[in-house]
């Protein structure tokens, strides 16, 4: 049975996410009209784009400066030879996880609350992975040699080390970027056809006709589309889990205190989903307010996604505690010393930012009132974004600066070049997202129409989408 709930109704307990409907959306024409109205540029949008471009400019300047001066300007201090770049790489790969989780895994589970947010989340995934992919290239110092990691026939007749997690990463990230982009684009084809059919500018119409591949909404097209979409979702589901597992191997395969543990893959995957959902909130909550889309992304949708964030926060919190337990129970003094140093020693401030933002503050989501408060969810999302960046900081830096032997102990202070590139990464990400929002539908028109009751000659009870 469909559950009809007013979008701004304050509270309603135990809403099954699969039953979420859009009672304020009456027909297909309304869907097209309201969602396509977002495509009109506004002053606020231009302002946002300008800020993003300014941040990107700072990032480009920092990178050019680093290429000119050498990697020494980046604050590396042996043996801490992984710093902000690798932290930011893992951060953005993690952000990229929510998109495919929402579009693929929740699709297979028939979770209704994904319908209106998955397009934005998918686009976010693609742009986040594009951002993440830059950082290993920035980190190697000589970016023009990055292609040496790719196995290809070459005149030197040498091949990369296939047992290296760094080469696994190249395959995992490349596959993830390719499949996420494909998934996003395939889902966009019918919606681009909607734009094409409404476009009056002949040049834009031709471009949209090209991008929609001549899609005509025929039953034959929909049948194969639905089947292909299902298989893409089925492929993407294990892919989501594999990508961050492989990223975690970059650490777990190293015999370094704090890294060499089998808990890393599930710990990383849960953290990635957690941070990805937070970034979805960071983007979606202002969007629903500014573009007047509160009847599409309703409080029920936010409530359901808050439950997911709470669940992944508990998993991540458990992983933090298990790490301490393993260090204590394993009886390895290097591990014990390292974890003490992480929480109460040299890096206490970073560890407590992580624990507060990722473990303690999300406990507020046990309150239904707060789960249905968009302002609180947005504030919490910022804390989680900060907390998850610091989680990666806590994983990378304290381990390298507090290795097995005391003569290896060191410290790490990022320089303005590190911060410039970190800020630049946000500029790069938001530039793409803002451009996307004004060119293509940020919500999936065809899928939203699926849950809107179709017009009927004979009125009868409708059971919602399928």
Partner 1 sequence: MIGVFAELDSTVEAIEELKHKKLGDITAYSPTPRHELEHAIEPPPSPVRKFTLFGALAGVIFGYWLAIWGSEYWPLVVGGKAISTWIPYTVFGFEVMVMVGALSTVFGMFYLAGIPRLTMTVGYDPRFSNGHYGVWCECAPDKLAEVEAILRRHGAVEVRGER
Residues binding partner 1 (CB under 8 A): 27-29, 32, 151, 157-163, 168, 171-172, 174-175, 178-179, 182-183, 186, 189-190, 193-194, 196-198, 209, 213-228, 231-232, 235-236, 238-239, 242, 246, 445-447, 449-450, 454-458, 466
Residue 262 Cβ vs partner 1, minimum distance, rounded to whole Å: 14
Which H or E element spans position 155? none
What count of Cα atoms within 13 Å lies in the side-chain half-sphere of residue 78?
Answer: 3
The nearer residue to partner 1, 388 or 442, going by C-beta atoms, is 442
The nearer residue to partner 1, 161 or 201, going by C-beta atoms, is 161
Residue 177 Cβ vs partner 1, minimum distance, rounded to whole Å: 10
The nearer residue to partner 1, 34 or 197, going by C-beta atoms, is 197
Query: Alpha carbon 144 to chain centroid distance?
Result: 27
The nearer residue to partner 1, 384 or 444, going by C-beta atoms, is 444
Residue pair 20/298 in contact by the 8 Å Cβ criterion: yes
CA atoms of 75 and 83, how far apart (whole Å): 8
The nearer residue to partner 1, 153 or 331, going by C-beta atoms, is 153
CA atoms of 71 and 418, how far apart (whole Å): 10
CA atoms of 94 and 327, how far apart (whole Å): 25
Q: Residue 28: which of 449, 440, 450 has the closest Cα?
A: 449
The nearer residue to partner 1, 8 or 450, going by C-beta atoms, is 450
Burial (CB count <10 Å: 0-12, 13-18, 19+), residue 362: buried
The nearer residue to partner 1, 308 or 446, going by C-beta atoms, is 446
Residue 156 Cβ vs partner 1, minimum distance, rounded to whole Å: 10
Residue 413 Cβ vs partner 1, minimum distance, rounded to whole Å: 35
CA atoms of 118 and 124, how far apart (whole Å): 9
Residue 459 Cβ vs partner 1, minimum distance, rounded to whole Å: 10
Write b or e for each residue in 366-391: b if 16 or more Cβ atoms lie within 10 A of its Cβ, otherwise e.
eebeebbbbebbbebbebbbbbbbbb
Give the ranges where 295-347 is alpha helix by DSSP (H): 299-330, 333-344
Instruction: Supply 340's token pair.
Output: 């003490």
Q: 3-state DSSP call for residue 13? A: coil
Query: Alpha carbon 466 to chain centroid distance?
Result: 27
The nearer residue to partner 1, 192 or 327, going by C-beta atoms, is 192
Residue 186 Cβ vs partner 1, minimum distance, rounded to whole Å: 6
The nearer residue to partner 1, 68 or 458, going by C-beta atoms, is 458
Residue 404 Cβ vs partner 1, minimum distance, rounded to whole Å: 19
Q: Which residue has the tokens 């507060």?
A: 356
Residue 448 Cβ vs partner 1, minimum distance, rounded to whole Å: 8
The nearer residue to partner 1, 197 or 337, going by C-beta atoms, is 197
Query: Per-residue DSSP letters for 69-133?
Result: H-GGGG--BTTB---HHHHHHHHHHHHHHHHHIIIIIHHHTT-GGGTTTHHHHHHHHHHHHHHHH
Residue 437 Cβ vs partner 1, minimum distance, rounded to whole Å: 21
Residue 44 Cβ vs partner 1, minimum distance, rounded to whole Å: 28
């Amino acid at each position: 049975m469909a559950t009809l709930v007013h979008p701004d109704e304050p509270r309603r307990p135990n809403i099954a996410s699969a039953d979420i409907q859009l009672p304020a959306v009456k027909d297909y024409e309304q869907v097209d009209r309201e969602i396509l109205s977002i495509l009109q540029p506004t002053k606020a949008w231009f302002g946002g784009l300008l800020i993003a471009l300014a941040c990107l400019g700072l990032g480009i300047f920092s990178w050019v400066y680093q290429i000119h001066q050498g990697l020494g300007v980046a604050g590396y201090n042996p043996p801490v030879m992984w710093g902000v770049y690798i932290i930011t790489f893992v951060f953005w790969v993690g952000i990229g996880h929510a998109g495919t989780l929402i579009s693929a895994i929740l699709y297979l589970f028939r979770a209704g609350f994904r319908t209106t947010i998955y397009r934005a989340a998918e686009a976010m995934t693609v742009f986040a992975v594009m951002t993440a992919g830059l950082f290993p290239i920035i980190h190697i110092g000589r970016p023009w040699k990055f292609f040496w990691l790719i196995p290809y026939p070459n005149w030197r007749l040498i091949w990369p080390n296939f047992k290296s997690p760094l080469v696994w990463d190249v395959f995992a990230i490349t596959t993830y970027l390719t499949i996420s982009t494909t998934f996003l684009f395939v889902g966009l084809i019918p919606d681009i056809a909607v734009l094409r059919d409404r476009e009056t500018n002949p040049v834009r119409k031709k471009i949209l006709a090209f991008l929609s591949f001549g899609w005509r909404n025929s039953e034959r097209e929909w049948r194969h589309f639905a089947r292909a979409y299902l298989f893409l979702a089925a492929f993407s589901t294990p892919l989501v889990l594999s990508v961050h597992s492989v990223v975690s191997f970059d650490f777990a395969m190293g015999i370094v205190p704090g890294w060499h543990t089998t808990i890393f893959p599930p710990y990383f995957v849960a953290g990635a989903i957690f941070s990805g959902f937070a970034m979805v909130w960071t983007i979606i909550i202002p969007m629903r307010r500014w573009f007047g889309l509160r009847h599409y992304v309703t409080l029920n949708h936010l409530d359901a996604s808050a439950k997911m964030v709470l669940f992944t926060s508990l998993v991540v919190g458990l992983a933090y505690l298990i790490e301490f337990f393993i260090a204590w129970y394993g009886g390895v003094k290097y591990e014990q010393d390292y974890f003490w140093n992480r929480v109460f020693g040299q890096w206490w401030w970073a560890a407590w930012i992580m624990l507060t933002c990722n473990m303690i503050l999300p406990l507020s989501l046990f309150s239904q009132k707060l789960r249905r408060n968009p302002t609180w969810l947005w504030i919490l999302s910022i804390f989680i974004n900060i907390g998850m960046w610091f989680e990666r900081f806590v994983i990378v830096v304290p381990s390298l600066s507090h290795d097995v032997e005391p003569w290896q102990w060191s410290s790490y202070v990022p320089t303005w070049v590190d911060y410039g590139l970190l800020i630049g990464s946000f500029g790069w990400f938001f530039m793409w997202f803002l451009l996307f929002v004004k060119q293509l539908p940020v919500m999936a028109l065809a899928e939203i129409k699926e849950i809107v009751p179709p017009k009927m000659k004979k009125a009868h009870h409708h059971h919602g989408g399928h």
